[in-house]
Structure 1
Amino acid sequence: MTPEEQALANQAQVASPSYRLAAKDSDFILGDSMRGVRFLMEYAKAEEALRAWGVRSTLVVFGSARVGADGEGRHSYWYEQARQFGRLASERGGAFKGSPGEPRDNVIATGGGPGIMQAANQGAHEAGAPSIGFNVTLPHEQFPNPWSTPELTFQFHYFAMRKMHLAMRANALVVFPGGFGTLDELFEILTLRQTGKAPPIPIVLFDEAYWRSVVNFDALIEHGMVKASDMDLFAFADDAETVWTKLLEGGLKPGADIE
């Protein structure tokens, strides 16, 4: 059989999806049986990039995507304070890397989208420091804000892996006003802290009046759902400078002080 005849003879075999290299077969990789592998890939891709940038620890900022710099009521204030916090925390926390091999600490990390997330990334950018955006795919697409460091701007399919990356390097959590998503992220970290599944990192809720109006902490204690001592898991602050002070009081160490 000539080479030409051979090529014609096995066309069906070569064209079959089963003949594709597994690593290049998108139908296979995106199939149900590879869900665990995709989960691992989402972990590994972000992990590799963060290590390459020397990111040892982060300061995670949560808050509403619906808050804008020109928003009504308290919205513009929340945005500006998140922006100021992103800047001062980047300047004081250790996000700047000195000599080769020196790690970055307390790098601002957000969910990568608009609103409060954008404000915190913007503040870090204005300080000249890198910051992280952990985006997630949504039915109505979320697009990354323009202020997170491009090489540290990620996109996740799985909320669980995104949450893991947000939590695993966190030296502290700052939670600005937000809705369901912000509440979800806040209470997940509080639960991990309450149960001892996460290290004792400081947690600061921004704008005490807002948080006390949307969460009746006293009722939780009154009904025996939480202990009064559980309120020590977090503190309140009403401006960016006080947030930083509360983080330091809660045990946060700037990069230069981390051994």
Structure 2
Amino acid sequence: MSEPDRLANSAQLDSPSYRLAALDQDFLLGDSMRGVRFLMEYAKAEEALRAWGVRSTIVVFGGARVREGQAGKHGHWYEQARLFGRIASERGGAMRGTIGQPRDNVIATGGGPGIMEAVNRGASEVGAPSIGFNITLPHEQEPNAWSTPELTFRFHYFAMRKMHFAMRANALVVFPGGFGTFDELFEILTLRQTGKEKAIPIVLVDKAYWTSVVGFDALVENGMVAPEDLDLMSFAEDAEGVWAELLARGLRPGEESVPDPHQPALQSEAVTG
């Protein structure tokens, strides 16, 4: 192309409309492509989880403000979460085979600090893979150093992150935490209560904490939930107790307890962004 011709069509070459759609960030981040971005967040994590053979998970939630070595309950919760990561990974089936072969009951956390770090750390210490489903927040969250790098994800949409938590879950373990932990706990409890999630065991760690911050019995007394709804969850005091409770409530290490990851639970979280 001669110089006059190049100059003649420079406005066309420089126009945003001329960019390849897949390379046009202004277009991809626009309102009309929200559905595409949502699909991309599903597909990216799905592809990596399949490549690692992650067939089922044990989801663990808990407070991000808990730290190793803290005095009192915080330090105890951290150590029990770390121990649980080891126990579940060694006994649950996460260490079976190699990349590409099925793994069951792989630890999955929110990927951040505190209890999440402790559980990922426990899995890492026994050589097991573990997942970190991080979320973009106004005050940027960074992944902890213990989740498997290839299984460390970042989401914009809470709804898609929650779907990935739910769709492979064989069990839910909830350590003490704050608003975010409550959100995830009650999301799964609601899905169980309404039949949108499979009958997975839900175990809350430290009964004294949970019964002091949530009036479960008061919900029944005031007619807000049925008495049998409280049977959706149980309590344990330490890592070994959690594992024993999971087994007692139906968790089976290996293939027998595998959910269908392609029948994800419906999520109520609104898509924003």
Q: Secondary structure at the match of 1:189?
A: helix
- What are the superposed Cα offsets for residues 32-51 of structure 1, whole Å, 9 maximum, x if unpaired? 11111101100000000000
2:170 corresponds in structure 1 to 171
User: Is it true that 1:57 corresponds to 2:56 in the alignment?
Assistant: yes
1:24 corresponds in structure 2 to 23
Equivalent-residue separation in structure 1 for 2:209 and 2:26 (angstroms)? 47
- How far the C-alpha of 1:257 sits from its partner, in A, is 4.7
- How far the C-alpha of 1:100 sits from its partner, in A, is 7.1
2:38 corresponds in structure 1 to 39
Q: Secondary structure at the match of 2:108?
A: strand
The letter for the 2-side match of 1:254 is: P
Equivalent-residue separation in structure 1 for 2:92 and 2:26 (angstroms)? 44
- How far the C-alpha of 1:80 sits from its partner, in A, is 0.3
1:209 corresponds in structure 2 to 208
Equivalent-residue separation in structure 2 for 1:117 and 1:249 (angstroms)? 24
- What are the superposed Cα offsets for residues 126-167 of structure 1, whole Å, 9 maximum, x if unpaired? 010000000000010000000000000000011111111111
Q: Secondary structure at the match of 2:132?
A: strand
- How far the C-alpha of 1:256 sits from its partner, in A, is 5.8
Query: Which 10-residue stretch deviates more, 194-203 or 92-101?
Result: 92-101
User: Is it true that 1:226 corresponds to 2:222 in the alignment?
Assistant: no
The letter for the 1-side match of 2:160 is: M
The letter for the 2-side match of 1:79 is: Y
TM normalised by structure 1 equals 0.97
The 3 A distance-change label for structure 1 pair 100 and 40 is: closer
Alignment of 1:172-187 (within 5 A): 172-187=171-186
| Structure 1 residue runs without a partner (length 5+) | none
Q: Report % sequence identity.
A: 75
Equivalent-residue separation in structure 2 for 1:82 and 1:168 (angstroms)? 23
User: Is it true that 1:121 corresponds to 2:130 in the alignment?
Assistant: no
- What are the superposed Cα offsets for residues 60-100 of structure 1, whole Å, 9 maximum, x if unpaired? 00000000012232000000000000001000000013267
Equivalent-residue separation in structure 2 for 1:156 and 1:164 (angstroms)? 11
Equivalent-residue separation in structure 1 for 2:97 and 2:160 (angstroms)? 30
The letter for the 1-side match of 2:48 is: A
The 3 A distance-change label for structure 1 pair 258 and 179 is: closer
2:80 corresponds in structure 1 to 81
Equivalent-residue separation in structure 1 for 2:70 and 2:15 (angstroms)? 56
- How far the C-alpha of 1:201 sits from its partner, in A, is 0.1
| Structure 2 residue runs without a partner (length 5+) | 259-273
Q: Secondary structure at the match of 2:97?
A: coil
1:136 corresponds in structure 2 to 135
Aligned residues: 258
Alignment of 1:4-23 (within 5 A): 4-23=3-22
- How far the C-alpha of 1:6 sits from its partner, in A, is 1.2
1:149 corresponds in structure 2 to 148
The 3 A distance-change label for structure 1 pair 257 and 121 is: same
The letter for the 1-side match of 2:17 is: S
